[in-house]
Amino acid sequence: MSSVPPSAARKSQRPLWIPLTTQHDFEDRSHTAVSAQGVHVTFEDGQKRICAKSGLWNTNLGYGNRHIEAAIAGELRTASYLPLFRTAHNKAIEASAALLSLSAHNFQRVVFSTSGGAANDAVMKLARQYFALSGQPERKLVVGLKGSYHGLTYGSQALSGDELGQALYGVDLRNVRHIEFQDQGQELALLMQREGHRIAAVIVEPVLGSGAESVPDDFMASLQKHRQDHGFLLVADEVATGFGRVGGWFASDEWSEAPDVIVTSKGLTNGTCACAALLIAQRVTQLFDATESVFVHGETQAGTPATCAAILGTIAEMKRLDHNMLSKQVAAGLSTLIEKLQGIPGVGNSSGRGCMRGVKLHSRNGMPLSSEGVLAVVAAIHQAGAIVQAGPGRIQLLPALTYSEENFAELHGAIAAGLAEATRAGAFE
């Protein structure tokens, strides 16, 4: 008779390798989803849980939006697939024009990608080629923020400032630098003094995807001044913050000077298609046009007709539902929820803004809760009926813009119950 427990045998036979977790720790029935509608996800264990992270920051209008679904289905009947390798199609042109019309700043051209990680790879290539074309091939450095998250493809994993196993995977960090953003720009100034002439781009998440920390206005003011002095490209990574997550279409709309590139994904198709896009300013496109240069980047599934229909459908739905009003309502609801949670032992201050917030947790000795403790809290909240995102020393809350007062009441109950259970189990010790 086998000495392997039946549960372990079942896990070893599972055909799917579950990302970002050890396979034996995966709870099959409570973490295998069978359907999703509105702001709820139903799992194999029969429980319908309220989602407080919009899938992965992306279902900003909730699951199963019928208007977006109809837009995709209609285009699948018209053209099931068309590529963008040395060719174009009407839906890609239409979606590009729609995206360019959204920002408060002026952008000239769109490059389609399939994920935030792949799009950040593309923008790093674009910046280095831009300076090669301008006669400055030595400008290869790309700068990111400490604690940032830009993806897990080879280039974007190097750009990410969080610890993600970069050394383990041999990620090439030779032309990447990371700087602190909560020090009034001191590290930024030192880097510029030392290597400003070699910097091709600085890439900033207006609110960090890992931890929901907002980049301070004084840092952005310093960064803009250094851009004037050194001429590097400024890139707004709005994979997480775009499409209403922190208000408006893009958080960088509030910047005093426009970025040279916006990277957008996640909410771009309301999570329905693998999609990302670069919105590129005239400063960049003009040089490529003047030198008749080719940007050597392409992805088989980028900008397909169905994907572009999803973009157009999402933009139309956000306008129809008045996403600015929804964002303000949900941001206010989040603030009220966080205030209630802060009355619970172990819950501390919050981070972030808009509909992208972190709730800090601390152990009994007052220190930030360990990653193991946070994961235990997230698991307890999941069992209590809500889906939240783990973050450094905190849980992150990113509800859909369609959340109602009843949804917030349900979420509060589940989080409070989960925190109580995690406390009983010793997660805060």
pLDDT confidence of residue 13: 81
Q: Give the pLDDT band of residue 7 (cuts 50, 70, 90).
A: low
Determine the 3-state secondary structure of 72 from DSSP: helix
Per residue in 278-330, pLDDT tens? Answer: 999 999 999 999 999 999 999 999 999 999 999 999 999 999 999 999 999 99
pLDDT confidence of residue 420: 98
pLDDT confidence of residue 14: 87
pLDDT confidence of residue 41: 98
Contact yes or no for 150/116 (Cβ under 8 A): yes
Q: Which amino acid is at 53?
A: K
Based on DSSP, count helices (H) and strands (E) in the chain, helices before strands. 14, 15
User: CATH for 6-64+322-424, among 3.40.50.2000, 3.40.1280.10, 3.90.1150.10, 2.40.50.140?
Assistant: 3.90.1150.10
Contact yes or no for 122/239 (Cβ under 8 A): no
**Quick one: which of 245, 240, 280, 238 has its CA closest to 125?**
280
Rounded to the nearest 10°, the torsion over CA 416, 422, 424, 429 is: -120
| Averaged pLDDT for residues 101-122 | 97
Say if strands 33-37 and 386-387 run parallel, antiparallel, or are unpaired: unpaired
Per residue in 202-256, pLDDT tens? Answer: 999 999 999 999 999 999 999 999 999 999 999 999 999 999 999 999 999 999 9
DSSP element (H, E) containing 111: strand 109-113
Beta-bridged to residue 41, according to DSSP, are 36, 49
pLDDT confidence of residue 3: 55
pLDDT confidence of residue 5: 55
pLDDT confidence of residue 32: 96
Say if strands 199-204 and 233-238 run parallel, antiparallel, or are unpaired: parallel
**What is the average pLDDT value for the chain, to the nearest integer?**
96
| Averaged pLDDT for residues 6-24 | 79
Contact yes or no for 48/41 (Cβ under 8 A): yes
| Averaged pLDDT for residues 141-157 | 97
Q: Give the pLDDT band of residue 10 (cuts 50, 70, 90).
A: low
**Quick one: which of 98, 158, 142 has its CA closest to 310?**
98
CATH 3.40.640.10 domain range(s) in the chain: 66-321
Per residue in 332-370, pLDDT tens? Answer: 999 999 999 999 999 999 999 999 999 999 999 999 999
CATH 3.90.1150.10 domain range(s) in the chain: 6-64+322-424
Rounded to the nearest 10°, the torsion over CA 184, 187, 193, 196 is: -100
- Distances 303 to 141, 309, 362, 372 between C-alpha atoms, Å: 29, 9, 44, 39
Given the structure tokens 């020090």, which residue do they identify?
A: 183
pLDDT confidence of residue 405: 97
DSSP characters over 375-428: HHHHHHHHHHTEE-EEETTEEEE---TT--HHHHHHHHHHHHHHHHHHHHTTTT
| Averaged pLDDT for residues 16-34 | 93
Q: How far apart are CA 328 and CA 357, in angstroms?
A: 14
Backbone angles phi, psi at 328, to 5 degrees: -65, -40
Per cent of the chain over pLDDT 90 is 96
For the cut 80, the answer to whether the pLDDT of residue 8 exceeds it is no
Given the structure tokens 């916006």, which residue do they identify?
A: 262
Contact yes or no for 219/181 (Cβ under 8 A): yes
Q: Give the pLDDT band of residue 161 (cuts 50, 70, 90).
A: very high
Q: How far apart are CA 259 and CA 279, in angstroms?
A: 10
pLDDT confidence of residue 139: 98
For the cut 90, the answer to whether the pLDDT of residue 419 exceeds it is yes
* Overall fold of domain 66-321: Aspartate Aminotransferase; domain 2 (3.40.640)
For the cut 60, the answer to whether the pLDDT of residue 1 exceeds it is no
Length of the chain, in residues: 429
